[in-house]
Chain A
Amino acid sequence: MAPEPFTGSTTPVEVTHHILSVLVENKAGVLSRVAGLFSRRGFNIYSLAVAPADESERFSRITIVVDAASAPIAQVVGQLNKLINVVEIRDMAPGEADERELLLATVQADEASRDSLLEHVGDAGASVIDFSATAVTVSLAGTPSAIDAFEAFLVGHDHAVEIQRTGRVALPRLNPSA
């Protein structure tokens, strides 16, 4: 496993977030139903990721990171459960979930700066997936805090041209702990 040299970054969302893993029927408009529910009830979404959950593509899984300070999590789950297309909800508190996220970044890298940048990229466990004479595109999959730290490095060193994050996906931890 790649080391995680850029630790120590915490954001407010780490304190109050819950992860809802929501299994939905893969019907037209289902994402709109979920997103609309959050906005009209005043629940805040921190990130959201969607993909088919089975081979038949009958169901999709929506992983929602909820700002639990915006509403009691039981109320969020209760209202979500009322959506007819929502089949199952798993609510994971911080510490109960294995979370991963993917980051892509295009970074300025001329000949003078490229070596030092690539060294940091390698230290972070990120990989180069594209390059040109003046820039490289790198990717990093990791825990949200590792992604946060890597993003902070890129932004702080004024290298980044464009950064894209996917939002988190998560599964329950096999050995839950604090």
Chain B
Amino acid sequence: MKITGAQALIKALESQGTEVIFGLPGGAILPVYDPIIDSTIRHVLVRHEQGAGHMAEGYAQATGRPGVAMVTSGPGATNIVTPIANAYMDSIPLVVITGQVASGSIGTDAFQECDITGITMGITKHNWLIKDASEIAEVIAQAFYVATTGRPGPVLVDFPKDVAQSEVEWIDPPAPEDLDLPGYHPQLEGDHESIMAAVALLSAAERPVLYVGGGVLKAEASGELQRLAELVGAPVVTTLMARGALPDSHELNIGMPGMHGNYTAIMAIQESDLLVSLGARFDDRVTGKIDAFAPDAKVIHVDIDPAEIGKVRRPDVAIIGDAKQVIAALADAADGVEQSDLTAWWETLHGWQARYPLTYDAQEPGAPLRPQAVVEALAANSPADTIVVAGVGQHQMWAAQHWSYEHPHTWINSGGAGTMGYAVPAAIGAKVGRPEKTVWAIDGDGCFQMTAQELVTARTEQIPIKVAILNNSYLGMVRQWQEMFYDERYSEVYLSTDIPNYVMWAEAMGCVGIRVDTPEEVLPAIEKANAINDRPVVIDFRTDAAEKVFPMVPSGLSNSEVVVHPSQQGGA
């Protein structure tokens, strides 16, 4: 029996296990929205296409399954470019379907036409323009396969309107191993000799550090990581993309490295004699000045993407493969091998931890709220498996620093791209994927104003997320840089203390709005928010604008020049 191309597309998405599409219809994608009425797939109608993309990303980061977004051609497609770029930087499996003008109109500057495959070529793993309805099933199967295997990432399928309207005989797509992808063969299993070489280095190292990146979460390798870490007794640092890969409470976890990491994690890497990189990519926010990064360390680099090997730092041992398989193989090979005595190394680390813990000035009665104290209060009064979703800036760093992440996939943020406005839509996507969990977006006031309209989506679609705005009336991270590096010359960073009125704005969007000015109001507001489960809640926490994120490695400097909190400076 023949079906339309539009029906074939929806059927293809169903056959890939799609349970939800985040999207917004328009002219070119219109035919596809008709069979959605009859589909088992839930459609979440967003208010802006950027919201659809970030929701699909939040869904993917919370569940490990690919996020699916669907938008129309032209401006619909360009509005989702930022989420695609974000997914590319953070290796998030994302399948984006864009409507396209009819095949015969392509290239004529037709209404709402744009070359979205050309635009997204550099920020997708791959993209496709479907030219004939007979290709639909196989292209969609390829799209999901490419997005979810190897190093995950975004893909885009451009779907002309006439293809959607044409008729086709449905043929089931081939199994993944039979897909026509002659140039795509992800390597999953690590090379045995390299694994043995790595174990030899590891057993002899006196100051090893396991440098864990987001790839460990993508590979669902937390269990394997914990086993390896415990076998060798080495300290573990979890990058911004890997928070929760090993519980923060685990005695081997010394926290987050990088520009705003903690002193011990930063210096452990700097002073290490062996750095074991597991699914991490030596991002500039972790390495600081690359020439001065971990100068005495040999490097074992485990990555599923061969192009990451040697891109930034030449490794002594490279292992290409899936983190889960390679870490398991490393643990198997290390099991029973005598390890160096790390007592002296741990004494050094514990000394740093005692001297330079994460700290901030205590909350004074009557003074503006300390944002760090707000994060700690949220953490203390939320379930341990709460999913925390952040935007980008100071609030993101405080949320990464002051919340103890005990489970994988409970920390979601925009790392590589640094996409302001990520929190609200990504939290909505996370809640759709994990409806049983409490989802707190910790946002800044600048970020919130970029994508807050998606709370209308959340309210109307019954997605009860909670939003904590750490509102300092500034673009706080930029303000911090201007204070520290531009002689306190504040340029275009002040927003407003009274516009918008966040409580009224939240209520206008059908949410509960709460404003918190004093420390005494913090706990009651959090308890009230946690008790509301039938609609989103927004708490406007009025925080101290002068508060800065410490420690900080100033841009372009060596990690050894990390600036600790003022109370810890001097007398070294």
Contacts and interface: CB of A to CB of B under 8 A. Distances in A.
A133 interface: no
Contacts of A85: 126, 183
Nearest to B306: A78
Contacts of B310: 72, 74-75
Nearest to A80: B307
Interface string B305-347: 1111111000000000000000000000000000000000000
Contacts of A32: 118, 121
A82 B307 contact: yes
A84 B183 contact: yes
Given A75-B311, A87-B182, A81 B121 contact: no
Given A25-B183, A83-B183, A36 B125 contact: no
B182 to A, nearest CB: 5
B311 A84 contact: no
A25 B182 contact: yes
A2 B40 CA distance: 72
Residue among B125, B183, B305 having the largest count of chain A Cβ atoms under 10 Å: B183
Contacts of B184: 84
A82 B181 CA distance: 12
A87 B307 contact: no
A78 B306 CA distance: 6
A28 B182 CA distance: 16
Interface in A59-113: 72, 74-75, 78-79, 81-88
A86 B307 contact: no
B566 interface: no
A156 interface: no
Contacts of B309: 78
Contacts of A29: 117-118, 121, 129
Contacts of A83: 126, 183
Given A40-B122, A75-B310, A82 B305 contact: yes
B312 to A, nearest CB: 10
B24 interface: no
B146 interface: yes
B299 to A, nearest CB: 16
A173 interface: no
Contacts of B126: 83-85
A28 B135 CA distance: 15
A85 B184 CA distance: 8
B180 to A, nearest CB: 9
A37 B305 CA distance: 16
Residue among A25, A33, A82, A83 having the largest count of chain B Cβ atoms under 10 Å: A82
Contacts of B307: 75, 78-79, 81-82
Contacts of B181: 84
Given A29-B117, A32-B118, A36-B121, A87 B183 contact: yes
A79 to B, nearest CB: 5
Interface in B149-167: none
Interface string B117-143: 110011001100100000000000000
B41 to A, nearest CB: 26
A171 B39 CA distance: 53
A56 B309 CA distance: 36
Interface of A: 24-25, 28-29, 32-33, 36-37, 40, 72, 74-75, 78-79, 81-88
Given A78-B307, A81-B307, A83-B126, 5 more contacts: A32-B121, A40-B122, A74-B310, A82-B305, A84-B125
Cβ-closest 10 pairs across A and B: A78-B307, A84-B126, A87-B183, A87-B182, A86-B183, A79-B307, A40-B122, A84-B184, A78-B306, A36-B121
